[in-house]
C-alpha cells in the first residue's frame, strides 16, 4: 500500500510539473508572440489619444492568433520575432491609413501580412468598423510604382506619429525625397485646410479627421519655430522620435534660397559656407533616421540590414497601392 501511494504521488507530481511547465511556456509564448499596442505621439491631444485607444481596442488578440495560422502554413521559415515585427509595422500603417485616405504601402513584407489579414474578411471588416467606422480598402496593382510625392507624405506621417526603431527598416530608407519634403512642408504651412479636405476621412469616426487636423497644426507650428529645440531628434524608450527635426527642413530650404539670391547666408557668412551647413544638416537627419537604432525594449529584434531594408523608399510595393475610401 505504501509503495502504491508513493507511485501515485510520483505520477501526480509528474503531471503537475508537466502541466505547470506547459502553462509557463504557453504564457511565455503568448507574451512574446503578440505585437505591442500603439502609443500616441508626444504632440497628441485628447482626441488623438482617443483614436489610439480606439485602435488598440479594435485590435483584438484574435486577429493575430487567427491570421498567423495562415501565415505559418505558407511561410514555415518565418520566425515569430520577425512575424511580430511585421504585425507591429502593419498596425502603424493601418492607423495612418485610418487618418489619411489613399496612403500607399511601401513595404512588401508588411504588405504580405496585410494580405493574410484581408483573407480573414469578417475579422478584417470588423476591425475597420471598430476602429474608424468604415473599411480601409486595399487596391492591388501589377507593377511597382514610383511615388516620390506620396512617399514624402508617408515619411512625414510615420516620423511624426511613431518612433524609429530597429523595426522601421521594413519601410526602406526614410527622407530620401528632399524636394518633395520641402513641397509638403510649404503646403502644410499654406494649405493645411486643403490637405485635410483632400486626405481626411470625413465619413469616418470624428477622431480620425480631428487627428489629421491636429497633426497639421503641430507640423505648421514646428515649421515656424526658431528656438534651439528645432532640428533635434528626441530620445524615447524604444527609439528616436523625429517629429521636431523633420520640420526644420523649412529653415534649411530658406538658407539655400537666400544663398542663391545674394551669395550669403542670413548671418552674412559666405554663400559656400551656408550651402555647406545646409547640406550637412540635411545629411545628419537622413543618416540618423536611417540608422534604425535599437531601443531598450527591442533586444530580441534583429538588426537592420545595411541597405535599409527590402523596400524601395520611393516606390509602393508590387502588390498594392495602399488603401482609400
Clarify whether residues 45 and 23 are in a common domain: no
For residues 153 and 9, state if they share a domain: no
pLDDT in tens, 274-286: 443 445 566 777 8
The alpha carbon dihedral of 90, 66, 208, 42 has a sign of negative
- Are both 16 and 75 inside the same structural domain? no
- Write the DSSP symbol of residue 158: H
Q: Looking at the structure, do residues 22 and 152 belong to the same domain, yes or no? A: no
Residues 26 and 142 in one domain: no
Decide if 84 is inside a domain.
yes
Q: pTM of the predicted model, to two decimals?
A: 0.76
Question: Which one, of 231, 226, 229, lies nearest residue 247 by Cα?
Answer: 231
Domain assignment of residue 123, yes or no: yes
Query: What mean pLDDT do residues 5-27 have?
Result: 62
Does 321 fall in a domain?
Answer: no
One domain, residues 29 and 51 = no
The stretch 192-220 carries a mean pLDDT of 91
Distance CA 216, CA 46 (A): 16
Residue 132 lies in a domain: yes
113 in the same domain as 20: no
Query: What's the rounded Cα separation, in Å, for the pair 48 and 131?
Result: 13
In a domain, 322, yes or no: no
Mean pLDDT of the region 7-28: 60
> Is 203 domain-assigned?
yes
- Which residue did the predictor score with more confidence, 18 or 149? 149
Q: Which domain holds residue 107?
A: 34-316
Q: Domain check: are 71 and 27 in the same one?
A: no
* Cα–Cα distance for residue pair 57/131, rounded to 1 Å: 8
pLDDT confidence bin for 187, thresholds 50/70/90 = very high
Same-domain pairing of 15 and 108: no
Q: Could you tell me if 26 and 38 lie in one domain?
A: no
Whether 194 is in a domain gets the answer yes
Residues 147, 249, 190, 164, Cα dihedral to 10°: 60
Q: Which DSSP symbol is given to 171?
A: G
Q: Are residues 236 and 134 in the same domain?
A: yes
Number of domains within the chain: 2
Tell me the mean pLDDT in the region 244-273: 51
Indicate if 138 and 28 belong to the same structural domain.
no
Amino acid at each position: 500500500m505504501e509503495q502504491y501511494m508513493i507511485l501515485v504521488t510520483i505520477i501526480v507530481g509528474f503531471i503537475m510539473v508537466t502541466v505547470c511547465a506547459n502553462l509557463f511556456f504557453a504564457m511565455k509564448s503568448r507574451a512574446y508572440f503578440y505585437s505591442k499596442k500603439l502609443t500616441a505621439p508626444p504632440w497628441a491631444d485628447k482626441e488623438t489619444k482617443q483614436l489610439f485607444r480606439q485602435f488598440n481596442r479594435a485590435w483584438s488578440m484574435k486577429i493575430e492568433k487567427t491570421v498567423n495560422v495562415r501565415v505559418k502554413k505558407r511561410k514555415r521559415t518565418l520566425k515569430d520575432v520577425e512575424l511580430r515585427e511585421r504585425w507591429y509595422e502593419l498596425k502603424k500603417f493601418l492607423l495612418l491609413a485610418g487618418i489619411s485616405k489613399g496612403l500607399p504601402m511601401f513595404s512588401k513584407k508588411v504588405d504580405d501580412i496585410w494580405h493574410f489579414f484581408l483573407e480573414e474578411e469578417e475579422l478584417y471588416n470588423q476591425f475597420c468598423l471598430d476602429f474608424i467606422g468604415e473599411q480601409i480598402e486595399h487596391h492591388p496593382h501589377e507593377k511597382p510604382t514610383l511615388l516620390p510625392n506620396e512617399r514624402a507624405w508617408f515619411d512625414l506621417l510615420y516620423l511624426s506619429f511613431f518612433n524609429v526603431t530597429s523595426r522601421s527598416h521594413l519601410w526602406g530608407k526614410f527622407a530620401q525625397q528632399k524636394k518633395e519634403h520641402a513641397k509638403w512642408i510649404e503646403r502644410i504651412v499654406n494649405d493645411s485646410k486643403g490637405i485635410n479636405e483632400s486626405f481626411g476621412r470625413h465619413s469616418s469616426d470624428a477622431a480620425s479627421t480631428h487627428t489629421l487636423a491636429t497633426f497639421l497644426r503641430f507640423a505648421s507650428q514646428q515649421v515656424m519655430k526658431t528656438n534651439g529645440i528645432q532640428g533635434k531628434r528626441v530620445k524615447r524608450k524604444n527609439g528616436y522620435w523625429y517629429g521636431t527635426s523633420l520640420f526644420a527642413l523649412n529653415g534649411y530650404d530658406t538658407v539655400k534660397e537666400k544663398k542663391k539670391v545674394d551669395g550669403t547666408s542670413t548671418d552674412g557668412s559666405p554663400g559656400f559656407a551656408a550651402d555647406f551647413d545646409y547640406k550637412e544638416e540635411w545629411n545628419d537627419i537622413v543618416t540618423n533616421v536611417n540608422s534604425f537604432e535599437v531601443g531598450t525594449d527591442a533586444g530580441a529584434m534583429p538588426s537592420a540590414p545595411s541597405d535599409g531594408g527590402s523596400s524601395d523608399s520611393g516606390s509602393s510595393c508590387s502588390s498594392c497601392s495602399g488603401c482609400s475610401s
